Structure 1
Amino acid sequence: MRLPKFRFLLAQAIKIVLVGCALVFLLSVYVHKIEPNWLEVTHTDIAIPKLDRAFDGYRIVQITDLHAGDGVSRAHLERVVELVNAQQPDLVVITGDHVSRKPRQHIDLLDTLAKLTPRDLTVSVLGNHDVFNDAEPIRTAIKQAGIVLLENTVYTIHRDLATLHIAGVGDVFAQQDRLDRVMAQLPATGAAIMLAHEPDFADETAATGRFGLQLSGHSHGGQIRIPLYDSYLPELARNYPLGRYQVKDMVQYTSRGIGTIKLYVRFNCRPEISVFKLVSSS
């Protein structure tokens, strides 16, 4: 009588092992192949102090942390560009980490960004991976794609007599940020938006009292988000790691980004294209 029972238990154990292996395989496929390519377009309305009515309804689309070549192919970037253009943006902003490793091998992928078609222009700032690798070919590729690179500078968009100022700081992690230079260039009137790769810079931006919005990346939203487990968050992305925050009188928004770092996996943290509609608070 013991042998049949043993065979039954052995069969059950084999079934459990097979089911477990199947689940592990499916999970592996999902986190490696499905979710990293499952782009989500999010929509957020932002009331901006000092925003002239001429910019009411102005549409900004943010992409960040492309990490081109590090698992992100040309086809994937082309799909990102297609989705961005479908949002009919007035302005496209790219908040850093265009590539992550071996930039000279992957730099050619950035020519895809020349296909972006905002009404006004595309602007960009550098991220820590851009700077810590080799920033010069990245700067060149960005400019060749027709993108305005903001490094401690301000670009002003005009609607007749109304103005909207887009500022960008150098990478904070690399200590290349010069907020003092930005403030020296920033006109006293007109709404202002800050682009900073690292979101925790929001504390310094908000302290000026001059900006209504900061857009950032860097965190990847944690990339792997498991309930009851703190996601891995890099330095300078721990105070404002994901989504929308109110920092004094300024809104901070941290996008989950497009690419990944270290491992080309995502779980419970889909790649994000962020769409913002500016609303006049007057």
Structure 2
Amino acid sequence: MQNHKQPKKTRRKVFRWFWLVLILGLCTFLYAYFIEPNWIEVNSLQLTLPHLAQEFSEYRIVQISDIHVNRRTTKAYLSRIFRLVNQQKPDLIVITGDFVTGEQERFIPKLEATMGELVAKDGKFGVLGNHDYWADPIAIAKVMAKTNVVNLDNTYSIVQRGAAKLYIAGVDDVWAGKASLDQVLKNLPDDGAAILLAHEPDFGDISAATNRFDLQLSGHSHAGQIRIPFFKPPILPELGQKYYSGLYQIGSMKLYTNRGLGMTAVHLRFACRPEITVLTLRSPQKFGVLGLPRS
């Protein structure tokens, strides 16, 4: 009798495990498809920049990246993102590329209808990403202009507090071969804190080597979009494999890579929530640390 019962018990056990794995898999998929892509994390950091004047201590920069407007993106969702950004009371807003998903330029009007809702005391700045070039960079640049987002295409802008200056620079897309850091450096003054916007984070090795920038802000990688906790993401894009998520120190320059808000390839996020980053800047002078001279 025992010989007949054992196979039945084994089959029941296998059957139970099969259904358990199937249900867990389905729940994971539903979570990654419906819940996490809409569960935006507001991530706050305090950064001391070596050359930041004390007039800019507690200066708030809000970074968003990789919105990837496509057929699934609704105007209501975009408005929700932009309201969340405004709620952080930013002094400055930066958008580090990939406004749309490549080859889906017909959805650019959604961006035009909503991006003007962003409000910051010292303005809004952005750079283009590789997907913007695969779509329609001219049309996206026009939308940026219409919604008062300054396109830092190999140039810089100045924010002032009295006589103190903070430089916000940007390079055009690296993947598309449009970046010209030499052009930026040719015109950028040698003194004062400087922040660089560059869509692709692995450009950080090049920008840090100039010893001119205190901070680089990037996106591009989506931090892998689908992650296994405690492991490096299995899929990362070119130029986003080394500095793919969060805060890094490269020489004297800090680099922050935002996880992005949208998705590409598959409409899934797992262990990789969409992100709005709030960066509160601190001056070493105000907090009793000597600023560093440029070498």
TM-score for both structures, normalised by structure 2: 0.90
Contact 1:156–1:163 under 8 Å retained in 2 = yes
Aligned partners of 1:35 and 1:127: how far apart in 2?
A: 24
Aligned partners of 1:45 and 1:24: how far apart in 2?
A: 38
The answer to whether residue 248 in structure 2 is matched with residue 245 in structure 1 is yes
Report the equivalent of 1:39: 40
Figure out how many residues of one structure are paired with residues of the other and give that number.
Answer: 282
Report the equivalent of 1:69: 70
Q: CA deviation at 1:207?
A: 1.3
User: What code does the residue aligned with 2:268 have?
Assistant: V
Aligned partners of 1:25 and 1:127: how far apart in 2?
A: 34
Query: Structure 1 pair 70/191, CA: closer, same or farther in 2 (3 Å)?
Result: farther
Report the equivalent of 1:121: 123
Report the equivalent of 2:133: 131
Contact 2:61–2:91 under 8 Å retained in 1 = yes
Aligned partners of 2:210 and 2:17: how far apart in 1?
A: 60
User: What code does the residue aligned with 1:21 have?
Assistant: L
- Partner SS state of residue 83, structure 2: helix
Contact 1:167–1:192 under 8 Å retained in 2 = yes
Report the equivalent of 1:187: 189
Question: Any idea what the Cα deviations from partners look like across 1:229-271, whole Å, max 9, x if unmatched?
Answer: 6421111112211111111111011111111110011111111
Question: Any idea what the Cα deviations from partners look like across 1:112-146, whole Å, max 9, x if unmatched?
Answer: 11101111101010001101222111111111111
- Partner SS state of residue 73, structure 2: coil
Contact 2:218–2:257 under 8 Å retained in 1 = yes
Report the equivalent of 1:274: 277
Report the equivalent of 1:255: 258
Aligned partners of 1:203 and 1:5: how far apart in 2?
A: 62
Q: CA deviation at 1:213?
A: 0.3
Provide the identity percentage: 44
Structure 1 residue ranges without an equivalent (≥5): none
Of stretches 169-178 and 46-55 in structure 1, the one that deviates more from structure 2 is: 46-55
Contact 1:102–1:133 under 8 Å retained in 2 = yes
- Partner SS state of residue 42, structure 1: strand
Question: Any idea what the Cα deviations from partners look like across 1:157-200, whole Å, max 9, x if unmatched?
Answer: 11121111100001011111111110122122221100000011
Q: CA deviation at 1:71?
A: 3.8
Structure 2 residue ranges without an equivalent (≥5): 286-295
- Partner SS state of residue 102, structure 2: coil
Report the equivalent of 1:78: 79
User: What code does the residue aligned with 2:20 have?
Assistant: V
